[in-house]
Structure 1
């Protein structure tokens, strides 16, 4: 009975908590992972306030208050620049993206409802859940002096893992911003090591300085450094799982919420797509995601793609921002398709994708094999992992050629091994005692109940870098070895001297005799 009362008191203590969710990336695909969490926490009786560029706007969620940041977006011009930069090198690509986002974050924090919340002295929260692709939003937890959880709509970068004290290894777990996948050659391992070292020594400081300026501007110059705020994070939720992502050791403060648990079951397609129900040969879905638009492709490339589609015996849905004159009769274009419902349709044969994590999550969930045409950031990494695991093939967007494009599409559709491999892996990924959403809710309430999770803090955060690298141990062993060698040399020299002293003495005695 006493145990029951204790459990009841814990439940009551957590019910009705005030939670602030901060998800500032102006990209719909990034927000779809977070939206089910905001919804579920509000349905469990918590008072949830979110700052987001993509609010749910569901009047039935009476416990959910949303601050709409759709006023601050990345323009098509900026995205085109990123696409262009991605053809130079990935270091400059990262720097350019952070520069753009620093400006977007600055605009978002200038938004009157956000400024009003920051300046409201009566506002209090029991927990802050903050999207941790960027460090600036960590300041909200400092502002409200409460525990905070980081959440990411993809797997964590190695830099993010190190910030929460999770071990990393540049060869075993290459950073997901490197275009290498997870099976590295010797040359790639060298590049991975240099990248990790250079990022930590130089690039991380440059990027943090940009965000620190935004923090000081909007929250105050007295706020702690971004690095210090990151070290005090209670937990980190990552949209990953051990089947499709790195099977890596994780400290208790890192919780994987992947395997597509945020994905709802497919609904019937709208009337304008009802013809797909009777597509006896099946259909192909082609989309480059919510940020990259197919109309960014060059005109010769678009013409070549249409020629290939015209030769295929399949209906093709192509997410394209404008109508295409003289397109083949089997091609349907639209600015928007209900992607989950399209991927969940029984007649779909193939998904041609740029390799964004959320698009791949949905395709994996519905067991749809893929052809990947990666553009930037984690997309090359994701697509190469897909190829390594055997449920899709990759094409180079800079060398798209008609014959290889058509051959690759037909290979993935007609060879059952791609779909069979994907089905086997997806079954493994989803065979878990709790869904990712259930884990995220449980651990969120755990942090509220215990007012943080310092007891789960990784000891690596308190270990100096030279101790982590065993430099002090190596120094002691080397000194010990040097001491032994010195003793042996000293002893040997002493013996030599004694022998030399003894030999003349004996010689003199013989002469005197």
Structure 2
């Protein structure tokens, strides 16, 4: 059994706890299956296992790319540009690749792997790792499927019926002409940005980072773009009751919920008693790890406390600082076991920022949400949940406490939200195999078949002109042009005959 184990490089470069927890889950799954894992991450994994080699790039966290965007007030006043994710994604990948710890791995010509599993975060800079180690590449994306990540292994989905992740309001299919035009414009603009980043931002980094590593192995650097789109598998951290409903190629698989441990960890005894005694239900409030509740304006925080004071429910608020003069039904915690709280039978509502990881856990436990989206894919995630009747969206404004109060009253008195959330939970849990087993199956298949070419889309090997039949269009246009010339000549000839006949009659 030792000989059957594979050697896998797993790299998660994004400096965020939520992303790292997903990478940790995959590493745990691989280790439990008997594989040897080299794990590159910005947060250390607290695991003692002889088969795990941890490549620590935590010093990259010193340059926090999100630091200037943490404040919800700033996010509301100065929204992030549409292409901001491309800049952040390229920077995260570049920081990881240029880190001395990862460079040491790249510069070792005797190092080898059977698979590279890389987190895709709006950049293809990690793709050449598979070329360096001469093994297949599997992409992992922490969000829902959309055109930009799909094109890494296939072709972009149509903007006529799928929305871009950066849409602030998700339209319901079928789109109106105006909505189709907006989605088309988003895709066109971002495609131009991707072309610019690929050729003028990432290409120089590619030459610098990978050139020496390939030379040490006696190989030349291939064309960068050919490696970017050479992934064998794409794993998506989502599932149909949460994300967009769209057809997928055979090498794209949903693995949403793989981080959920079953059975889950029990709550601390004193904390469990608080939830057990909450006969009127529990409201759990958490804004995640990037935007903190303490960053809310003071007036908003004080008004929220007043709103919670007037509720019959018990409120558990993940709050990073101590606050005085809080009501008895409000419990503030610097850290909260989110999944265990959500799956407690007394939990009635979750107030969240709308990150996909939180929505996955709420869906798994069957809890409706009240979401305050602030940036990134949060608007996209929340609008899809709201469209399916699983919660409400509340925008961050000065009257946020009032809107939260109204939303709590609506969800706790209208049972349809709870029914829809429980239906989503049923769909989410009803799978043919456990998601961890499914994830392992596809990764092993890619390794055993050296890239699973039987699953890959043939569209990746077609040039742009053939992919969109532009060559045929040119041929058709030339044929039509030729026929029009022939028809024109025939008409001229017929007119000349008519003219001669008319002249003869006149004579």
In the superposition, the TM-score normalised over structure 1's length comes to 0.89
1:471 corresponds to: 470
Please give the root-mean-square deviation of Cα atoms over the aligned residues, in Å: 2.5
2:70 corresponds to: 80
> In the alignment, is the contact (CA less than 8 A) between 1:257 and 1:440 conserved in 2?
yes
Q: Distance in 2 between matches of 1:101 and 1:500?
A: 73
Q: Distance in 1 between matches of 2:77 and 2:202?
A: 25
> In the alignment, is the contact (CA less than 8 A) between 1:257 and 1:435 conserved in 2?
no
1:172 corresponds to: 161
CA deviation map 1:178-204 (0-9, x unaligned): 223252544333222112111112354
Please say which of residues 490-499 and 228-237 is displaced more in the overlay: 490-499
> In the alignment, is the contact (CA less than 8 A) between 2:71 and 2:295 conserved in 1?
no
Q: Distance in 2 between matches of 1:38 and 1:248?
A: 29
CA deviation map 1:369-401 (0-9, x unaligned): 000100100000111111111110000113534
Q: Distance in 2 between matches of 1:152 and 1:429?
A: 18
Q: How far did residue 337 of structure 1 move?
A: 0.2
Does residue 500 in structure 1 map to residue 491 in structure 2? no
CA deviation map 1:422-455 (0-9, x unaligned): 2223322332222332222111111111111234
Q: Distance in 2 between matches of 1:242 and 1:327?
A: 40
Give the secondary structure class of the aligned counterpart of 1:34. Answer: helix
1:236 corresponds to: 234
Does residue 37 in structure 1 map to residue 26 in structure 2? yes
CA deviation map 1:39-65 (0-9, x unaligned): 222222211111122343222x44222
Please say which of residues 363-372 and 97-106 is displaced more in the overlay: 97-106
Q: Distance in 2 between matches of 1:491 and 1:13?
A: 80
Please say which of residues 298-307 and 339-348 is displaced more in the overlay: 298-307
Does residue 194 in structure 1 map to residue 194 in structure 2? no
* Aligned with residue 128 of structure 1, among 98, 105, 116: 116
Q: How far did residue 416 of structure 1 move?
A: 1.0
* Aligned pairs for 1:275-314 within 5 A: 275-314=274-313
> In the alignment, is the contact (CA less than 8 A) between 1:13 and 1:449 conserved in 2?
no
Q: Distance in 1 between matches of 2:102 and 2:496?
A: 84
Q: Distance in 2 between matches of 1:320 and 1:210?
A: 39
Cα distance, 1:196–1:328 mapped onto 2, change above 3 Å: same
CA deviation map 1:57-114 (0-9, x unaligned): 222x442222233333237733427973564344x2642x554555554444454432
CA deviation map 1:441-486 (0-9, x unaligned): 1111111111112343322222232333333333333333333333
- Unaligned ranges ≥5, structure 2: 213-219
1:315 corresponds to: 314
Q: Distance in 1 between matches of 2:91 and 2:72?
A: 15
Give the secondary structure class of the aligned counterpart of 1:397. Answer: coil
Larger Rg: 1
> In the alignment, is the contact (CA less than 8 A) between 2:60 and 2:95 conserved in 1?
yes
Cα distance, 1:13–1:166 mapped onto 2, change above 3 Å: farther
Give the secondary structure class of the aligned counterpart of 2:60. Answer: coil
Please say which of residues 281-290 and 48-57 is displaced more in the overlay: 48-57
Q: Distance in 1 between matches of 2:353 and 2:176?
A: 24
1:386 corresponds to: 385
Q: Distance in 2 between matches of 1:355 and 1:288?
A: 8
Q: Distance in 1 between matches of 2:308 and 2:134?
A: 56
> In the alignment, is the contact (CA less than 8 A) between 2:285 and 2:350 conserved in 1?
yes
* Aligned pairs for 1:431-442 within 5 A: 431-442=430-441
Cα distance, 1:112–1:505 mapped onto 2, change above 3 Å: closer
Q: Distance in 1 between matches of 2:72 and 2:223?
A: 28
> In the alignment, is the contact (CA less than 8 A) between 1:14 and 1:445 conserved in 2?
no
More helix by percentage: 1
In the superposition, the TM-score normalised over structure 2's length comes to 0.90
- Unaligned ranges ≥5, structure 1: 1-11, 509-513
Q: How far did residue 15 of structure 1 move?
A: 1.6
Please say which of residues 97-106 and 400-409 is displaced more in the overlay: 97-106
Q: Distance in 2 between matches of 1:83 and 1:443?
A: 43
Q: Distance in 2 between matches of 1:112 and 1:486?
A: 67
Give the secondary structure class of the aligned counterpart of 1:160. Answer: helix
Does residue 461 in structure 1 map to residue 460 in structure 2? yes
Please say which of residues 67-76 and 329-338 is displaced more in the overlay: 67-76
